[in-house]
């Protein structure tokens, strides 16, 4: 089963992070990622750019409204993620507990990634996606 470990942070945790040496962060994240690689569970991992550089597309109206970041009403921001392929949610939780994230406001949300096998296989779009995944080596 694949799970996404989502790094979430608040303004408080971002403020605390500004006092940490960036190379220390790289070292800690690098060691953690290497542990997951060696264990054979890491599928992908990425950090995200500052929210001030992003945009939100709001579909509440037509046409959708695009708002530049930062987002004043947001209490938590998604800062990056790992995708792990593990046997259970419990194993995903165990890896998340080891992540080098500490301090007030730092959180890791864990969400299972649905498999294409869970969708109706007679659906035209599911068949097209399956064919694309097979062509690109994802299945």
List pLDDT tens digits, range 85-132: 999 999 999 999 999 887 777 888 999 998 889 999 999 999 999 999
22-39 and 89-98 helices, crossing angle to 10°: 150
What pLDDT does residue 65 have?
Answer: 87
Total domains present in the chain? 1
| Residue 128, CA atoms < 13 Å, CB-side half-sphere | 3
Q: What is the CATH number of the domain that holds 72?
A: 3.30.70.1060
Does residue 9 register a pLDDT over 90? no
Tell me which of 39-43, 73-77, 103-107, 118-122 is least confident: 73-77
pLDDT over 80 (residue 51): no
pTM reported for the whole predicted model: 0.81
What is the per-residue burial (b if ≥16 Cβ within 10 Å, else e) of 115-135?
A: eeeeeeeeeeeeeeebeeeee
Strand partners, 81: 6, 46
Residue ranges making up the domain that contains 85: 2-135
Q: What does residue 131 show for φ and ψ, rounded to 5 degrees?
A: -60, -40
């Amino acid at each position: 089963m694949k799970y996404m470990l989502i790094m979430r942070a608040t303004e408080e945790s971002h403020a605390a992070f500004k006092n940490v040496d960036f190379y220390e962060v790289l070292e800690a994240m690098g060691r953690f990622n290497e542990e997951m690689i060696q264990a054979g569970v890491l599928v992908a991992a990425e950090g995200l750019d500052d929210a001030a550089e992003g945009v939100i597309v709001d579909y509440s109206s037509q046409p959708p409204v695009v708002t530049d970041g930062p987002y004043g009403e947001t209490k938590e921001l998604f800062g990056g993620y790992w995708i792990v392929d593990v046997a259970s949610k419990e194993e995903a939780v165990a890896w998340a507990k080891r992540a080098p994230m500490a301090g007030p406001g730092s959180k890791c949300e864990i969400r299972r990634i649905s498999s294409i096998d869970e969708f109706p296989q007679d659906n035209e779009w599911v068949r097209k996606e399956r064919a694309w995944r097979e062509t690109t080596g994802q299945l």
